[in-house]
Amino acid sequence: MIDVITFLITGAIVLGGGIGVIVLSNPVRAALSLVASFFGVAVLFIMQQAHFLAFVQVVVYAGAIVVLFLFVIMLLGVDRHEDIRAEPLAGQRPAAGLLGLMVLALILGGLFLSGPGGDDGAVALTGTKSRTAPISQLSESDSDITVLAQDLFTRNIVAVQATALLLTIATVGAVVFVRNKGGEDVVIDDPGTARR
Amino acid sequence: MGEPYLANGVDWGDLVLAVGKAVIAFAVLLVAVMLMVWFERKVVGRLQNRLGPNVAGPFGLLQTLADGMKLFFKEDIIPTRADRFVFQLAPYLSLIPAFLTFAIIPVAGDFSDGGNGSVTIFGRETFIQVADLPVGILFFLAMSSLAVYGIMLAGWSSGSKYPLLGSVRATAQAISYEAALGLSLAAVLLVSGTLSTNGIVQAQAGEGFLGIIPRWNLIITGFVPFVVFLIAGTAELNRPPFDLVEAEQELVGGFHTEYSSIRFALFFLAEFMNTVTMSAIIVTLFFGGPAGPNLGFLPGWLWGFVWFFLKLLVFLFTFVWFRATLPRLRYDQLMDLGWKVLIPVSLAWLLVLAAVRLVRGGQIDLVTDDFGNTLLVIVACFAVLVIGGTLLSMAIRAARQERLAEKGLIAVPSEGTRS
């Protein structure tokens, strides 16, 4: 019973936040809606006993990424109301709608194919069984962190290291691009003196 | 891990217990904050050769209450250019994470003789903390990263330039120092082997080295993570010497310049609440929290509270001491300290700890069978670190030379370095 009530409230927050991101014309408020949505997703994770994922969701997405969004919005001063009726890219909205419908169909398909009482949506969608055991079947001492760590640092170790390398390259690349070689400061407002 | 009494389903008694704990914690924290404000003003006063508050109540103890009443009755001003909704929301975004963090701190309990610090209330076994999450310490990190929103949105929504500057500084500072905070925390998690705050305290309880030195993480992790955590924590709190966010001489009042009345009081409350909570977190992580000897004549769990409170007082005093002693850093010094000193140091230390832990197979006693082996690993680690550190500082120096040369401030060192 409590599960259902929590799910309904959280679902409303997630969906409301998602709609807010699209509908609100002020970028700062849209970013705040995104935070609300992330929070709802974190609560959904906790309901599935995935505590680690829930808090990583809050720390990384709500705590770091949206903060960076807001930081950029504030620094660039684009925090004015946008006219969201104009469509900057022709055909963008129908395409987005179509994509959304396709994702919805995929999720519903997975739900219906696995059927009532069927507990493995992974089999229905991909044909193979999920390689990790559901968290609900773990013993008390084996938390989700242990499972996650074992999976990440044994089977997926190459992927983890490749990601780390990629992120390092991206960071170094960003620094190289931003560094302004050659002496003069770039004046963005004046096209005559700007080097880049 | 997790609360023992939640193991078999939830009934109304459990609900009453949980709500009761939350209410008591809230009340205790509010009183603690009130006393902390008084303590800070009194100690800073004494350190500056003044008396501090001494009129309202005995020793001026009721000064905070009087100030709170005064703020309540002041006019609540919302600037015309403010974003009304966000402006009203921001103080709560500051206060709520500040309070929630306190939920994971074990404040009492008997951890001596292998006890797990639980007590029995209404026939239910529970810990003396609002909640023992399986990932308690991540909860602390999550809340401290959310607390940024309060400051950031307060500055932005005021529609005024000084608050905006203050909040941009605050955000940059919080993001920079959170990395160092998290890395020094990882050292503690490495030696404790758990994320639960209760588990971390349990790991530090019990017989220490040579019978007298306690098994605190402070010693097991080798002091460095503690120093990094203390510095990064002070920066995270925006307390002096890292209070650039509200540097009065430059920014009028920082992010809360436009706030008045009760909304200002909420920010003020959140700031002191964070100070108390951060001290409690330091005590939990590095000083064994409520773990300590049971000296008898009091119930065991109360001894836990006594030890916790004594340790907490030391850090509350330390934060006030910092404020009264240290001058404020410049913005570039702040960033240099965070990115070029604290993060590399805590990262390197984490690697050493991991290597030592690997070679010793999880033992933490001073003398083991393979002492020579351990020594070898430690020496090798430090050799690698010295080489790495030298290279890093050379790189930083070369970068600075080149930057100065580009600006024409010094002579160009050689043709090869210019591109």
Whether residues A17 and A79 share a domain: the answer is yes
Is residue A190 included in any domain, yes or no? no
Is residue A187 included in any domain, yes or no? no
Interface test mutation site (partner A, options B138, B169, B396, max chain A beta carbons within 10 A) = B138
User: Shortest CB distance from A51 goes to which of B86, B135, B141?
Assistant: B135
A166 or B250, which is more confident? Answer: A166
Residue B8's pLDDT band (cuts 50, 70, 90) = low
- A2–B141 C-beta distance less than 8 A: no
Cβ neighbours of B160 in A, within 8 Å: none
Residue A170's pLDDT band (cuts 50, 70, 90) = very high
Q: What is the ipTM of this complex?
A: 0.75
Cβ neighbours of A143 in B, within 8 Å: 1, 134-135
Q: What percent of chain B has pLDDT over 90?
A: 3
- B146–A55 C-beta distance less than 8 A: no
Give residue for tokens 């997703």. Answer: A41
Give residue for tokens 């001494």. Answer: B54
- A32–B135 C-beta distance less than 8 A: no
For residues A23, A24, A27 and A28, what is the CA-based torsion angle, rounded to 10 degrees?
A: -130
At B185, the amino acid letter reads L
B404 or B92, which is more confident? Answer: B92
Question: Side-chain half-sphere of A196: how many Cα atoms within 13 Å?
Answer: 9
- For chain B, the straight-line distance linking the first and the last C-alpha, in angstroms and rounded, comes to 58
pLDDT value at residue A2: 75
Whether residues A13 and A50 share a domain: the answer is yes
DSSP B408: T
User: Shortest CB distance from A75 goes to which of B1, B10, B168?
Assistant: B168
Interface test mutation site (partner B, options A3, A51, A167, max chain B beta carbons within 10 A) = A51
* B198-222 per-position pLDDT tens digit: 888 888 887 766 667 777 888 788 8
- A71–B156 C-beta distance less than 8 A: no
Q: Which of residues 61-100 of B touch A (CB under 8 A)?
A: 83, 85-86
d(CA A195, CA A117): 64
Q: List the one residue out of B169, B168, B177, B166 whose CA is nearest residue B144.
A: B177
Whether residues A150 and A80 share a domain: the answer is no
Whether residues A114 and A137 share a domain: the answer is no
pLDDT value at residue A195: 42
Interface test mutation site (partner B, options A29, A33, A49, A59, max chain B beta carbons within 10 A) = A59
Whether residues A52 and A67 share a domain: the answer is yes
User: Shortest CB distance from B408 goes to which of A52, A181, A183?
Assistant: A183
Q: Among B33-37, B138-142, B410-414, which stretch is predicted with the lowest mean pLDDT?
A: B410-414
Q: List the one residue out of B324, B309, B279 whose CA is nearest residue B52.
A: B324
pLDDT value at residue B292: 75
Cβ neighbours of B136 in A, within 8 Å: none
Whether residues A78 and A107 share a domain: the answer is no
CB contact at 8 A, B322 and B241? yes
* Number of C-beta neighbours around residue B110 at 10 A: 22
pLDDT value at residue B367: 54
User: Shortest CB distance from A51 goes to which of B83, B133, B168?
Assistant: B133
Tell me: pLDDT of A77 over 80: no
At B408, the amino acid letter reads G
Domain of residue A119 covers 101-130
Whether residues A4 and A40 share a domain: the answer is yes
Residue B177's pLDDT band (cuts 50, 70, 90) = confident
The reported pTM is: 0.82
B294 or A18, which is more confident? Answer: A18
Whether residues A20 and A71 share a domain: the answer is yes
User: Shortest CB distance from B146 goes to which of A52, A62, A74?
Assistant: A62
* Number of C-beta neighbours around residue B409 at 10 A: 8
Question: Highest mean pLDDT: which of A30-39, B56-65, B156-165?
Answer: A30-39
d(CA B188, CA B220): 9
- In degrees, to the nearest 5, what angle opens at C-alpha B298 toward C-alphas B126 and B5? 5
* B222-254 per-position pLDDT tens digit: 888 899 999 998 888 888 788 777 766 677 667
Q: What percent of chain A has pLDDT over 90?
A: 20
Residue A70 Cα, gap to closest chain B Cα (Å): 9
Is residue A189 included in any domain, yes or no? no
* B345-364 per-position pLDDT tens digit: 888 888 888 887 777 765 55
Cβ neighbours of B149 in A, within 8 Å: 35, 67
Residue A102 Cα, gap to closest chain B Cα (Å): 34
d(CA B144, CA B148): 7
Residue B82 Cα, gap to closest chain A Cα (Å): 13
Whether residues A120 and A140 share a domain: the answer is no
d(CA B142, CA A60): 8
pLDDT value at residue B142: 87
Tell me: pLDDT of A162 over 90: yes
Give residue for tokens 């924290």. Answer: B29
Q: Among A21-25, A187-191, B151-155, B245-249, which stretch is predicted with the lowest mean pLDDT?
A: A187-191
pLDDT value at residue A158: 92
Whether residues A12 and A33 share a domain: the answer is yes
pLDDT value at residue B135: 81
Instruction: Specify the number of domains making up chain A.
Output: 3
Helix (H) or strand (E) holding B120: strand B118-121
* Number of C-beta neighbours around residue B280 at 10 A: 26
Annotate A93-135 with DSSP letters as a single string. HHHHHHHHHHHHHHHHHHHHHH-TT---HHHHHHSS--SSPPG
B132 or A79, which is more confident? Answer: B132
Cβ neighbours of A183 in B, within 8 Å: 406-408
* B119-167 per-position pLDDT tens digit: 777 767 777 777 777 788 888 888 888 888 888 888 888 877 788 888 8
**What proportions of chain B, in percent to the nearest 5, are helix, strand and coil?**
70, 0, 30
d(CA B293, CA B300): 9
pLDDT value at residue B410: 67
Is residue A14 included in any domain, yes or no? yes
- B141–A55 C-beta distance less than 8 A: yes
pLDDT value at residue A196: 40
pLDDT value at residue A17: 92
Tell me: pLDDT of A85 over 80: no
d(CA B82, CA B167): 15
* B378-411 per-position pLDDT tens digit: 788 888 888 988 998 888 888 888 878 877 766 6
A1 or B226, which is more confident? Answer: B226
- A59–B138 C-beta distance less than 8 A: yes
Residue B402 Cα, gap to closest chain A Cα (Å): 10
Residues in A lying within 8 Å of B, measured between beta carbons: 2, 26, 28-29, 32, 35, 51-52, 54-56, 58-59, 62-64, 67-68, 70-71, 74-75, 79, 140-141, 143, 145, 181-183
d(CA B20, CA B24): 6
* A112-134 per-position pLDDT tens digit: 776 655 556 666 666 666 555 55
Q: Which of residues 8-47 of B touch A (CB under 8 A)?
A: 10
Is residue A71 included in any domain, yes or no? yes
Whether residues A37 and A76 share a domain: the answer is yes
d(CA A182, CA A106): 53
Whether residues A6 and A74 share a domain: the answer is yes
